[in-house]
Structures are given as structure tokens and as C-alpha cells.
A and B are shown apart, each in its own frame.
Chain A
Amino acid sequence: MENKLILSTSPHLHNGDTVERNMYNVILALIPALIASFLFFGVGSLVVTLASVVSCVFFEWSITKYLLKRDRSTISDGSAVLTGLLLAFNLPSNLPLYIIVIGSLVAIGVGKMTFGGLGNNPFNPALVGRVFLLVSFPAKMTTWPVTGQLTAYADAVTGATPLALIKQGAIDQLPPLGQMFLGNTGGCIGEVSVLALLIGFAWLLHKKVITWHIPVSIMVTVFVLAGVMWLINPETYANPLYHLCSGGVMLGAIFMATDYVTSPMTGKGQIIYGICIGLLVMVIRLFGSYPEGMSFAILIMNSVVPLLDNWCKPKRFGEVGK
């Protein structure tokens, strides 16, 4: 009988959720987009993705072990793999390896580990890496291969992306909307196929990894703003569906802005956060000098998250329905 009973206070049950389960589910949700990018960009997309994942994991492991001198490695929690994947998904498929390695070092080293690792970073690490590369290697980061070159990597032929066309006001040269939905257009590895990203979104919702609040509020805001401009002048402004299907809106809304660590905690906060991201993207796209603004929009809003958490408290019991 006296087999030493454990004395820990209630609750004595756990629903079984783990950090790993969430991370691996996000990784799983990114697989359709990875497949799509392979179909459109060929080997290049795989090389870039692999390089980014491997170097992110390597940097997390070595920084934990040699710089922070912690005994417990965190690479198995899946967050470094995820950062690697997301970073790769925001890069062109012809990017040289050394640039990818630098990007991974900045993402993991500067974006994540300097703050103490998973849970403490104020900014989305993959985006920190990406924006660093964007300002350091502007030319390489803004030329994208055209689709269909399945065996090409660094030598791939590049061409204008739909976003560039939208920026130039060359609305009539845009590819058909159906092709953009499938992802048969130039762009970063993971962002082109809206269909694949939506499949991932459905998976995340189904597995209750994220809620609808952030992605939907971003999408609706982009759609509404682009729609207003389009109604005002359909000659120079693109159809709002083009805005939704081009560039990083979908990838950002579903996978980057919903990063647990760097997004608000309550539904209300998340909706405000989503709307602001949508607003910023459209302002940058329509009036800024860059054709795309998703990364900047998310990073800017990341910095507002602590404020949002303070303002948007959940309704306490007793305040509802009064």
C-alpha cells in the first residue's frame, strides 16, 4: 500500500497538448505549400528549403550549447524547423546558399536566441531574417524565377511577379486569377499557391492550433481596402481578389501573423492586430516604395502586441451580458 503516493495539487488531468504537437501540426500544414512550390519551381525550392531548415536547426543547437551553455537542447520542440521552413517560404527559389545561411543566422541568432529562445522573442524570427536579407541583398531578394523551370536553381530565368505588375499599374498583364490561386506565378517559395495555403489553414483550424481571428481579419481588411480602391478606379488598381492571391498576404495571414509568441492573446486583440496588419500592407502596397509590405506590416504590429495585450483584456465573468 505505501508505495509512495505522488502529492501534487489539482488538476490531476492534462489534455495531452504539448509544444511539439502544435509546432509539428504547423509544419504539417505547410506541406501542401511545399509540394506546390516544388511543382512550380522545381529543385530550387527544395534546395532553398532544406538549406534554411538545416541551418536554422544547426544555429539553434549550437547557440544553445556553446553560447547559452544550456544542457537541454530545444531543437526537438520543432520551433527551429518551423522557423527554417517559414524563412525559406519567404525567399525566392534561386537564392544562393550563403545568403540563406546568413538569413538563418539572423533569424535564429538575432530574432530568437538573443531574447532567450522560444517564448521570449518579441518579433517573428523568420521575418527578422527575411527583412535583414531584403535590406542587405535587395537585388537578389527581389528577383523571382518564373515558374516551370523544374531543374533550375541559381541559374533560373527570372521574371516580373504579379505584385510588381500591380505596382506598375500594368493590370492588363496580370496572369489569370485561377492560375494565381493555384500558384502558377512568380514569387517566394511558399507564398504562391493560395490553394495549398488554404488547405493548411483548414488543417490548423481543425486541429485547434490557431483560431480564425487573425487570418480572417487580415484577409477581410485587405479585401475591403483593395476593393474600395478598385471601385474608385479599376484602371490603375487591381481587383481585390488579385491582392489577396498575390504576394505574401495568405502566407503571412495564416502562418506568420499567427505565430503564438508574437501575436496577441485575446480574440479582440487578435482582430485589431489583424485589421492593422491588413491596413499597413495595403498602405505599403499602394503608396509605399516596396511592392510588398506583409513582412513589414507584421513586424510593426509585433511591436504593438504588449500594448494590445494590455488594452484587450478578456471579459471577466460577471461582465458578460450586462
Chain B
Amino acid sequence: MLKTFRIGGVHPEDNKLTRSCRTGTAGLPKQAVFPLSQHIGAPAVPCVKRGDSVKVGTLIAAAGGFVSANIHSSVSGKVSKIDSVLDASGYRKPAIFVDVEGDEWEETIDRSDTVVKGCNLSPEEIISKVKDAGVVGMGGACFPTHVKLSPPKDANIECLIVNGVECEPFLTADHRLMLEHPDEILVGVSIIMKALGLERGCVGIEANKMDAVELLREKAREYNGIEIVPLRMKYPQGGEKQLIDAVMGRQVPAPPAIPANVGAIVQNVGTVFAIYEAVQKNMPLIQRNVTVTGKSVKNPCNLLVRTGTPISQLIEAAGGMPEDTGKLISGGPMMGRPLLSADVPVVKGTSGVLMIPRQEAVRAEERPCIRCAKCVSACPMGLEPYLMATLGEQGDWERAEKEDIMICIECGCCQSSCPSRRPLLDWVRLTKTTVGGIIRSRNAKK
């Protein structure tokens, strides 16, 4: 019996339309746009000005603090302006605009295909290279990776867990990455293990990707201490806490506890690949794999995309936006963000572009709760979503806090299982944000 996490979870149809599509390369955009805030933490600070020439890999904005990340140009050309741009959050955010001319790369970057296996750097050097390259968590959270690689001194980490789960339906970017670059990923895993002084690394992969499990298993024989762990399919297995529970059988307690408290650290396979490129190839994080898909999309595909490319260009590459499209999503169908327009640029955290037909995009009419308890059994955090939503509607923030609302991971299992079609997560999010604000101001007073 394959491992999986213990509480709740759902089984959406996986719809991996692009599972066997080799990753192609997206064309260069005419203009690339780099939002200054594409990671958790302080926005980056521009270090170029209008009219400056940049190459591929030139630093254009430097980290604005420890919890922040460098941003590099993914194209060569001239900085045309620093202005605001509509991003996936639906707000206009400051960004650097670069008009593309040619494709000239910084000389330090090794663009060859050869896999560089050996690494003689010290842990500090590795982490500083990762930091310079602007690597962030590529599974969606976009937490700066160098921060994650610098755990508290007293933490006793035993195991690196690599997240190759890709539990979101439709997305296959990580799957293809594992099939097409297995060696790079395994070298990346060894590098992270070295940086953290770990003996053990596990790559968790869901059972719908057995080809990747077998390939990596075969290759992992050459490396010390790396184990490939196939996992029974269940959403949200790619959630950090769920993955640790599935692989190690340990549950991270409620915040402020972090994975290090149970001896684990998790990195997404995309991030591992970016770390490999940063450390072994001097390649900053300027491109990533993106799945462009949807049931009515003509040529759903996986593309290697330079950051800053407008999403509309990827949609063109996939055969254009289907007539019946009702919703455009950045990310997967369970946790992705709805987009206001296709002009939004690809950022470090863009894992997919999904077009949902209009009929499926319209929510059904809400009915009163019939107390069927399906949301309760679906919740992977052991919460009672029906109650949270009701407390939110009533504005009973105090009780919501007592009922542990803050541990919700916003996975959407509850809402996607409710026969009465209650907008459970909408209410939960509202409640969580409000309660979070109350907690912060209470702590500030202390």
C-alpha cells in the first residue's frame, strides 16, 4: 500500500492532458515585464534605470531585505520604463519593463546541456549562490529559498523532502521536468543535502507519475542517501504539511511551528532544478516550465518560458484562447488565481495557465447547508469548514480563532465537495484574514 497523508483530502479527476508532451520552448516576447514583488517578503529594489542596456541574466532589482529575492532580466535589451503592471493578484504593482533586442547572455552563465555533477563548494557558498540567483519556491508559495536553506541554529533537520507530487489537476510542468532532467534534479538534491549537512533526501511523487518514479529510482542508485517515495494519489498531497505527513508520518504542529520542528525541510522539484542551475551553471532564475492547458484548448503543452513573458503569448502558442473560455487561471484549478486579463506576465511562481470553459466556470446556486459533513471529512487540516463559514457569516471572530481557523491552508477541498455549493473557502478566507489581523494587532500591543 502506497503512503499518503492521514486526514481528509479529495480525489479530483487528474486531467493531465499534457503528461506526454515534451517541454517546448516559448518564443521571446517583444517586451518583458518583471514585477518587483514576485516572492514572499519585501519587494526587490530596482538597480537599473530607464534606458539602461541589460543582458539575459543581468541583475535588475536587488533583494530588499533578508526575506526578499533578487530579480534578473530574462531577456536582453533596453529598460523602457519602471511602471506598474496588473499582476496575478488583480492589483497593479511596480515592475521593470524591458524592450527586447536580440538574445545576448551574461558571459558567466553556462548554457550548455552537460550535467555538471561534482560540487566542491561549502554550504555557505552554495547558499550565497542560491541567494544571488534569486531562487524562490517554485511550487506556488514563492518563499525565498536562501531563507529556507538557513534554518534556525537549534533546528535538528533529518531529512530533505523534495516535492514532486504535483497534485493539482491539469499541471504537468514538474512531471516533465523530472522526466527530462532527472540527473540535474538528483544533483540538485545532493547539493541541498550538502548545504544543510543532511544524510537523507526523499523525493515524493504521486502514483500517476510512475514513469518518473522509475526513472529517478534507477538514476538515484548513483547518489548517496536519496530515496524515491511513490505516494497514493490524493489532493492536497503537495501541501508542505501533508507531504511531510505522507513521507515521514509526522505532523507539523500549528504555527508558529515550521517543518524544521519535526526534522524536515521541503523543496519543490522546480526549485531543486533552479538550485542546480544556480550553483552548477551560474544561471539565475530567469525561466521556468509552465503548463498551458484546458479541456477546450487546441494544443495544450508544456513550455520553457522566460519570466516576464505575457501569458497571452503562451496562450497563442497553445492555439489561442478557446471561444468558450469563461475563466483564465494562473496555476491549477484547486488553488490557482483567476486572472483579469491575459496580459499578466509570467513570474517565478507561474506553474500553469489554465483555461476553463464557461459552463464549468460559473458557480452553481448556493443552497442552505444540509449538514452532510462532507466538508468535514474532506478537510486535510481537520477543521470544520461548515462551521468556519457560518462563524464568518456571523462575524464571530473570537470563536473562529478558538476553532483553529488559522491552520487552514486554503486548499479548497471543502468547497469543491459541498453538495449545497456553499462558497466555503470564500468565507474561510475572509474569516482567516480578519482573525489574522486581530492576532497581529494584539501581538503588536504586547
Contact = CB atoms under 8 A, between A and B. Distances in A.
A316 interface: yes
Given A17-B419, A22-B419, A320 B169 contact: no
A316 B416 contact: no
Q: Please indicate which of the listed interface residues B341, B386, B404, B419 has the most CB atoms of chain A within 10 Å of its own CB.
A: B419
A13 B419 contact: no
A260 interface: yes
Interface string B351-386: 000101010111110011111111011011111101
A265 B376 contact: yes
A18 B422 CA distance: 11
A9 to B, nearest CB: 6
Contacts of A69: none
A213 B223 CA distance: 48
A11 B334 contact: yes
A8 B340 CA distance: 10
B326 A6 contact: yes
Interface stretch (A114-122, A174-182, A245-253): A114-122
Contact of B7 (A15, A263, A317): A317
Given A119-B369, A265-B376, A11 B407 contact: no
B6 A11 contact: no
A173 interface: no
A8 B338 contact: yes
B364 A317 contact: no
Given A12-B361, A317-B380, A261 B312 contact: no
Nearest to A264: B373
B247 interface: no
Contacts of A266: 373, 376, 384
**Secondary structure at chain B's binding surface: helix, strand, loop or mixed?**
loop
Interface in B414-440: 415-421, 425-426, 429
B41 interface: no
B249 A314 contact: no
B6 A12 contact: no
A6 B328 CA distance: 8
A9 B338 contact: yes
Contacts of B10: 15
B362 A318 contact: no
A316 B382 contact: yes
Contact of B416 (A2, A13, A313): A13
B12 interface: yes
Contacts of A19: 367, 370, 419-420
Nearest to B426: A9
Interface in A4-38: 5-15, 17-19, 21-22
A117 to B, nearest CB: 7
A8 B363 contact: yes
A55 B381 CA distance: 44
B382 A12 contact: no
B361 A1 contact: no
Contacts of B404: 316
Given A5-B328, A11-B416, A14-B421, A260 B370 contact: yes
B88 to A, nearest CB: 12
A10 B426 CA distance: 8
A289 interface: no
Given A6-B326, A265-B384, A321-B249, A17 B374 contact: yes
A315 interface: yes
B335 interface: yes
B383 A318 contact: no
A264 to B, nearest CB: 8
Contact of A318 (B253, B312, B342, B376): B253
B80 interface: no
A18 B382 CA distance: 23
B326 A318 contact: no
A3 interface: yes
A71 interface: no
A321 B364 CA distance: 38
Interface of B: 6-7, 10, 12, 90, 169, 241, 245, 249-254, 257, 312, 321, 325-329, 333-342, 354, 356, 358, 360-364, 367-374, 376-377, 379-384, 386, 404, 407, 410-413, 415-421, 425-426, 429
Given A14-B421, A15-B417, 12 more contacts: A6-B326, A6-B338, A6-B362, A8-B327, A9-B426, A10-B337, A10-B412, A12-B334, A13-B334, A116-B368, A119-B368, A314-B384
Nearest 6 interchain pairs by C-beta = A11-B412, A119-B368, A318-B253, A316-B382, A17-B419, A265-B373
12 contacts: A6-B358, A9-B429, A14-B416, A17-B374, A211-B377, A260-B371, A263-B371, A266-B373, A317-B245, A317-B252, A317-B381, A318-B252
